């Protein structure tokens, strides 16, 4: 499997491009059909049925979501049991049949066929969903997951945007039903043709016996998802994003008309701004995460979702609009640019929030159950979107204005974020680490590929500052369990990060012999389970800038558990705020200059039988060079 330097190069490879185009066309067709139908019902309901337009529009929304509740569990099983590329091709053939039904409905103005086709499109998306996300880890290397997910999320929101706009334009034209019919059939056929180029993806659990009872399998799905706490809370986090996004998107038409005094073009402008924001945020995730699954971006995203939603509330006019203006007149008013910026930033931070969560589920869910976990995620997403609609209706009946609904959603987002990060402090810990190397420091990495992708190993590094472990952890794709002096382990604030990352405190035989023996036992146990261990063999932070002799503890570790030892060197930290140059660390705020350049160099692994303290010190010193 080749490894690309950036996510855009994936669009030139067969292992990704046909899948990307196929999923884009599926989301695109969903929204062309759905929006054309909704607009047709909004303006011509009286000629089709005795039901009101409002009732029909809400019925359509419910029927499209209903299959996610009924069939997601079954879809997850099928995606785990059978070859995924073949499932995609069958789904695309099914889409052609659905669009043929919809075409007859449009041409004959047959409401039953139109709504039936909409329900079947919901079923189509339900079956495709688990395949869509569980297939990526089979095509992409670990360092490509974030970039691949970013492209998929960008493509999905772009497809929603363009499909919604095209559906509205086509149905509004003279003979619009003919144009819509031709468009959805053409897109469906194009989706099938591109799906034929998708490479094979072997089944994860071919021995699985499918349980066709959707109720019992849905419950079993959710129960299994809960067995991995971090994955389950990530699923809840994604579902919350769809709650948040659905709340905002549902309000755009009335927000534009009643609050901003805009016409349908202003609605399109708001939707476009939000969607482009999500796309930009999704694409930026790879760069901000260093091509690894960086869950530290999730708290960063949730902060932006709250702050800019709050600002949207304060930026919204307090006087109800009386006239109607187009997009040009709307943008001609300087105050409205703040609203546009808020929506773009809400979308962008939404991308920061959701892409790492999808990548985390893909990387940590058990491979044999991955599609079923995604199916459970889809069920909860649909449930949260329904609850979102119910909350908005309830708040409007209570007299809330639309800006007040935005305010309530922003405050709820803050509460939910704090709750999740309290349950899983790893999110907050990674955010603090991510913030450290994106504000105080600017980190350069070389030789990072020498750290094994899987299996046990010991990393040995020079000890320059109080944040050495955090910088190494931020650079490495895998979690590292550091062995750390018990006094540093207890430093306020840093102690939270060390405890969350399961750092092993250690003391000298003179200070605490029991803690010393426990540390060696914990190290051996961690290595036996395939973990990475990080140690600072000097046993203390330098106060001269030079390296102290490596202690013999590393020899004891590899004699008990023979594993490769990887030399690591930190450069540029001597003289920083967290170092002891010129006195106690963290006592000279003037050294907190932003974006200070530092470097991390990783050498080739050393076999355990050759891993003497002297050889390892020479290796680390050679990697460090003269730049302390």
pTM listed for this prediction = 0.75
If asked whether residues 162 and 248 sit together in one domain, one would say no
Instruction: Give the integer Cα–Cα distance in Å for 153 and 282.
Output: 6
**Cross-strand pairs, 596:** 441
Ranking 82-91, 141-150, 491-500, 505-514 by mean pLDDT, the lowest is: 491-500
- Residue of higher predicted confidence among 253 and 357: 357
Q: What is the pLDDT of residues 244-287, one digit of tens each?
A: 988 888 888 778 878 888 877 788 888 889 989 988 998 888 87
Ranking 38-47, 143-152, 506-515 by mean pLDDT, the lowest is: 38-47
Q: In total, how many domains does the chain have?
A: 3
Task: Report pLDDT for 55.
Answer: 60
If asked whether residues 341 and 418 sit together in one domain, one would say yes
Task: Specify whether the CB–CB gap between 63 and 122 falls below 8 A.
Answer: yes
CA nearest to 118, candidates 246, 247, 31 = 31
Ranking 50-54, 93-97, 199-203, 424-428 by mean pLDDT, the lowest is: 50-54
Edge-first strand listing for the sheet containing 480-485: 441-446, 596-602, 565-571, 457-461, 532-535, 480-485, 504-506
Q: What is the pLDDT of residues 174-194, one digit of tens each?
A: 888 899 999 999 999 999 999
Average pLDDT (228-253) is: 87
**Boundary (domain end) residue, out of 213, 246, 270:** 213
How many CA atoms lie less than 13 Å away from 525 in the CB half-sphere? 8
Task: Specify whether the CB–CB gap between 122 and 78 falls below 8 A.
Answer: no
Instruction: Give the integer Cα–Cα distance in Å for 312 and 342.
Output: 6
If asked whether residues 446 and 459 sit together in one domain, one would say yes
Q: Is residue 88 included in any domain, yes or no?
A: yes
Helix (H, G, I), strand (E, B) or coil at 598: strand
Pairing of strands 596-602, 565-571: antiparallel
Phi-psi label, residue 74: left if phi above 0, alpha if psi -120 to 50, beta otherwise: alpha
Instruction: Give the integer Cα–Cα distance in Å for 458 and 604.
Output: 12
Q: Is residue 369 included in any domain, yes or no?
A: no
Does 1 score more than 60 pLDDT? no
Average pLDDT (80-85) is: 92
Question: Please, which residues have CB within 8 angstroms of residue 394's CB and are 6 or more apart in sequence?
Answer: none
**Cross-strand pairs, 569:** 601
Task: Report pLDDT for 109.
Answer: 86
Between helix 84-108 and helix 17-48 the angle, nearest 10°, is 20
- The token pair at 612 is 């003497």
Does 53 score more than 70 pLDDT? no
Q: Is residue 375 included in any domain, yes or no?
A: no
If asked whether residues 178 and 272 sit together in one domain, one would say no
Task: Report pLDDT for 2.
Answer: 44
CA nearest to 26, candidates 176, 195, 241 = 195
Q: Is residue 373 included in any domain, yes or no?
A: no
Average pLDDT (299-324) is: 86
Task: Report pLDDT for 491.
Answer: 75
- Residue of higher predicted confidence among 569 and 588: 569
Question: pLDDT grade, residue 555 (50/70/90)?
Answer: very high
Alpha carbon 144 to chain centroid, angstroms: 13
Task: Specify whether the CB–CB gap between 98 and 45 falls below 8 A.
Answer: no
Does 37 score more than 70 pLDDT? yes
CATH number, domain of 43, equals 1.20.1250.20
Q: Residue 505 phi/psi, 5° resolution? A: -75, 145
Q: Is residue 594 included in any domain, yes or no?
A: yes
CATH number, domain of 600, equals 3.40.1130.10
Task: Report pLDDT for 121.
Answer: 92
If asked whether residues 27 and 158 sit together in one domain, one would say yes
Instruction: Give the integer Cα–Cα distance in Å for 504 and 483.
Output: 5
Pairing of strands 565-571, 457-461: parallel
**Boundary (domain end) residue, out of 188, 213, 238:** 213
Does 66 score more than 50 pLDDT? yes
Task: Specify whether the CB–CB gap between 123 and 329 falls below 8 A.
Answer: no
If asked whether residues 330 and 193 sit together in one domain, one would say no
If asked whether residues 606 and 462 sit together in one domain, one would say yes
- The token pair at 268 is 């399109």
Average pLDDT (392-407) is: 88
Does 3 score more than 60 pLDDT? no
**Boundary (domain end) residue, out of 182, 213, 244:** 213
Helix (H, G, I), strand (E, B) or coil at 134: helix
Does 614 score more than 50 pLDDT? yes
Instruction: Give the integer Cα–Cα distance in Å for 327 and 194.
Output: 36
If asked whether residues 173 and 284 sit together in one domain, one would say no
Question: pLDDT grade, residue 4 (50/70/90)?
Answer: low
| E strand map for 180-252 | none
DSSP string, 294-331: -TTHHHHHHHHHHHHHHHHHHHS-SSPP-S-B-HHHHH
Residue holding tokens 């913030």?
A: 435
Q: Is residue 123 included in any domain, yes or no?
A: yes
Task: Report pLDDT for 47.
Answer: 58
User: For residue 588, what is the enclosing H or E element?
Assistant: none
CATH number, domain of 431, equals 1.20.1250
If asked whether residues 37 and 186 sit together in one domain, one would say yes
Task: Report pLDDT for 56.
Answer: 67
- The token pair at 89 is 């091709």
Pairing of strands 565-571, 532-535: unpaired
Average pLDDT (429-457) is: 84
Which one of 25-39, 186-200, 256-270, 576-590 scores highest in mean pLDDT?
A: 186-200
Task: Report pLDDT for 164.
Answer: 86
Q: Is residue 389 included in any domain, yes or no?
A: no
**Cross-strand pairs, 199:** none
If asked whether residues 255 and 206 sit together in one domain, one would say no
DSSP string, 204-231: S-TTPPP---HHHHHHHHHHHHTTSHHH
- The token pair at 604 is 């080739």
Structural domain that includes position 38: 13-213
Q: Is residue 7 included in any domain, yes or no?
A: no
If asked whether residues 497 and 599 sit together in one domain, one would say yes
- The token pair at 24 is 């884009």
If asked whether residues 482 and 585 sit together in one domain, one would say yes
Task: Report pLDDT for 436.
Answer: 77
Average per-residue pLDDT for the chain: 87
Instruction: Give the integer Cα–Cα distance in Å for 63 and 99.
Output: 16
């Amino acid at each position: 499997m080749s490894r690309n330097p950036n996510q855009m190069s994936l669009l030139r490879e067969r292992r990704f491009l046909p899948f990307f185009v196929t999923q884009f066309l599926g989301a695109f067709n969903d929204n062309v059909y759905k929006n054309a139908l909704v607009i047709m019902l909004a303006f011509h309901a009286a000629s089709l049925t005795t039901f009101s337009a409002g009732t029909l529009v809400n019925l359509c929304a419910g029927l499209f979501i209903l299959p996610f509740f009924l069939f997601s569990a079954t879809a997850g099983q099928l995606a785990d049991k059978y070859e995924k590329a073949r499932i995609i091709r069958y789904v695309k053939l099914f889409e052609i049949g659905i669009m043929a039904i919809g075409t007859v409905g449009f041409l004959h103005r047959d409401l039953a066929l139109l709504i039936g086709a909409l329900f079947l499109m919901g079923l189509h998306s339900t079956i495709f969903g688990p395949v869509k996300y569980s297939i990526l880890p089979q095509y992409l290397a670990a360092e490509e997951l974030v970039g691949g997910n970013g492209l998929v999320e960008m493509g999905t929101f772009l497809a929603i945007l363009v499909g919604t706009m095209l559906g509205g334009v086509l149905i509004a034209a003279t003979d619009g039903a003919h144009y819509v019919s031709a468009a959805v059939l053409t897109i469906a056929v194009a989706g099938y043709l591109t799906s034929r180029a998708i490479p094979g993806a072997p089944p994860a659990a071919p021995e699985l016996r499918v349980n066709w009872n959707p109720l019992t399998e849905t419950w079993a799905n959710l129960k299994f998802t809960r067995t991995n706490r971090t994955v389950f809370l990530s699923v809840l986090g994604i579902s919350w994003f769809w709650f948040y996004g659905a709340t905002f998107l549902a309000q755009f038409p009335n927000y534009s008309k009643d609050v901003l005094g805009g016409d349908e073009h202003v609605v399109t402008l708001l939707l476009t701004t939000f969607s482009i924001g999500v796309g930009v945020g999704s694409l930026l995730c790879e760069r901000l995460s260093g091509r690894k699954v960086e869950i530290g971006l999730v708290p960063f995203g949730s902060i932006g979702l709250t702050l800019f939603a709050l600002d949207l509330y304060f930026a919204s006019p307090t006087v109800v609009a009386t006239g109607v203006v187009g997009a040009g007149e709307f943008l001609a008013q300087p105050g409205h640019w703040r609203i546009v910026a808020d929506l773009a930033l809400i979308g962008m931070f939404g991308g920061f929030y959701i892409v790492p969560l999808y990548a985390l589920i893909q990387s940590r869910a058990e491979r044999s159950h991955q599609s079923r976990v995604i199916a459970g995620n889809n069920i909860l997403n649909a449930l949260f979107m329904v609850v979102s609609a119910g909350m908005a209706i309830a708040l409007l009946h209570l007299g809330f204005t639309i800006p007040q609904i935005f305010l309530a959603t922003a405050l709820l987002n803050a509460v939910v974020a704090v709750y999740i990060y309290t349950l899983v402090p790893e999110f907050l810990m990674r955010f603090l680490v991510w913030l450290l190397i994106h504000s105080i420091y600017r980190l350069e990495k070389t030789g990072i590929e020498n750290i094994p992708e899987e299996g046990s190993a010991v990393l040995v590094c020079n000890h320059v500052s109080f944040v050495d472990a955090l910088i190494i952890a931020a650079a490495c794709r895998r979690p590292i369990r550091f062995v750390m002096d018990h006094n540093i382990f207890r430093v306020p604030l840093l102690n939270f990060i060390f405890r969350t990352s399961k750092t092993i405190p250690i003391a000298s035989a003179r200070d605490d012999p029991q803690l010393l023996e426990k540390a060696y036992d914990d190290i051996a146990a961690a290595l036996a389970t395939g973990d990475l261990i990080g140690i600072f063999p000097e046993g203390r932070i330098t106060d001269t800038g030079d390296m102290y002799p490596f202690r013999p503890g590393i020899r004891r570790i590899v004699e008990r558990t023979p594993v490769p030892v990887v030399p690591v060197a930190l450069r540029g930290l001597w003289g920083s705020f967290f170092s002891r140059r010129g006195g106690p660390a963290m006592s000279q705020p003037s050294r907190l200059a932003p974006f200070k350049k530092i470097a991390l160099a990783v050498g080739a692994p050393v076999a355990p039988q050759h891993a003497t303290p002297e050889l390892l010190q020479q290796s680390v010193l050679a990697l460090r060079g003269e730049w302390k």
